Amino acid sequence: MALVSFVASAIFIYKDFNQLRKTIELATVFSSNFHLGLTQGYFDLSANENPVLHIWSLAVEEQYYLIFPLLLIFPYKKLRNIKALLYITLLLFFILTLTSFVPLNFYKNALYQPNIYYLSTLRFPELLIGSILAIYNKLTNQQSNKSVSNIIAISSSILLFSCLFLIHKNMNFIPGITLLLPCLLSALIIYSTTQQNIIKACLSSKSFVFIGKISYSLYLYHWIFIAFTYYITGEQTLNNAQILGIIVLTVIFSIVSYYIIEQPIRKSKLTFKKAFFYLYLTPSILLIGYNIYAKGKLKNEKEHIGQDISNVDLEIDIPAKILTIGDSHAGHLDYFLKYVGKQEGWKSDILNLGPECQVMVNEVSQVIPECQSLWDKIAKYDVIFISEFYDLRMVGQPVPRFEAQSYIVPNFQQRFKSMVKKLSESKPVYVFANNSSITRPPIRGYLLENMVLKNIYSLFIEWAILTQVIKLFVI
């Protein structure tokens, strides 16, 4: 978290850092998954560029570790029976699994979670499988037959490997029952290790054991480097050199983290109170404090760039005879049209047609009743400019993170041509081409190219100071 905060404060624009800051701060209280479920919209930091996106799963885990014992402790104290504990756990598992079938609109409208991917209740069954296995092993305390163990281990491993290729994001019930399959297969592999078999021998080898030791760090670091690479380059895919660099950095940082951080903490003899204070509370306060400081610093240093552009006086005191219609692409032309209009002595208004009226005529070239008021407003102008995200309407570029289908307009090309033809019967109509696409926002590109080196120098100074402060606390 500290690494992400320091690097992000050097290379992120203010808006992106502020969104990242909120995710990190909520991660300290194990609730970042709910925040992520409410973000990642059209204008939010994209999933590929969010270096702390993966910590949603850690939030879900911590919620599980806090809630699940509380649900079991009272029944177990009363019954004092492990079998009853197994039945209660199975009941919770089936109840939560049934939430997979709850309509999506319920989560959106009742729980205000437009993206259910991060939702805890849909993820708890995956963790409950491990709890059920642990209780079952405690209850039965018996080993499986060696031949049966081999069959279970090998078949489960093959099927688990197959899941990498068979399960994809567009399948139904993700999250939900679909993702329970790899969890069940993993549980079967663990269960089979009660007897010696080929899979146990493989997983017990020194190389696999070492990978297991650094696996937590591998998980934490890999996405950080992937996301920062996407953010800096602005590309949609990574090339081989970038992938190799990410792998090398991830392995190096994971090994260093294991020996410098994980091992000393694991071997320390801190009491719970001291561990809570030194390893959780103090780092959380320092992290939140730094992010608040960096937020103010970024606002002062970077946010003015966009404000300087918007503060330029381009107004002209004449009636607008031109109307520019469309979606956000029309709005994108606002300052350009104001600038050119001021130079040439004309003025254009901007009219966003809204999602229902991007094409205001139907298949038979009649104005849609819901769009009649907009059509009447357009009739008052002498010239019409049109600018829209045409590809998106035709399933060309589904830019929004979610619900891209909602932006598609049926028979867009035919209806758009009809609308232009109908408008041009009484006035000149000019259709702008799609706005040019670039790999990253202009302000981000400017900042990365002109300010990063200076910020990286400051970053090293701040990191050195914070490292010394942490050492003082730990020692």
At 138, which helix (H) or strand (E)?
helix 120-140
Interval 121-180: pLDDT, tens? 999 999 999 999 998 888 887 666 778 888 999 999 999 999 999 998 778 888 889 999
Residue type, 383: V
Q: Are 20 and 50 in contact (CB under 8 A)?
A: yes
For the chain, the domains span 1-214, 215-267, 322-431, 441-474
Nearest to residue 4, comparing CAs of 238, 294, 410?
294
Percentages (nearest 5) of helix, strand, coil residues in the chain: 70, 5, 25
* Region of residue 141 (phi > 0: left; psi between -120 and 50: alpha; otherwise: beta): left
Q: What is the pTM of this model?
A: 0.75
Nearest to residue 220, comparing CAs of 249, 245, 197?
249
Mean pLDDT, rounded, for 104-115: 78
Residue 459: predicted pLDDT: 55
Q: Are 272 and 226 in contact (CB under 8 A)?
A: no
Average the pLDDT over each of 77-91, 179-193, 256-270, 327-341 and give the range with the smallest value: 77-91
Give the CATH fold of the 322-431 domain: Rossmann fold (3.40.50)
Where are any strands of DSSP class E within 248-360? 322-326, 348-352
Residue reference for tokens 């090293």: 460
Instruction: Say yes or no to pLDDT of 294 above 50.
Output: yes
Measured CA distances, 137 to 140, 255, 420 (Å)? 5, 33, 71
User: Residues 442, 443, 445, CA angle at the centre, nearest 5°?
Assistant: 65
Measured CA distances, 60 to 32, 35, 123, 453 (Å)? 9, 12, 7, 37
Mean pLDDT value across the chain: 84
Q: Are 287 and 1 in contact (CB under 8 A)?
A: yes
Q: For residue 185, give both structure tokens.
A: 């297969």
More confident position, 471 or 200: 200
Residue 233: predicted pLDDT: 84
| Confidence bin at 46 (pLDDT 50/70/90) | confident
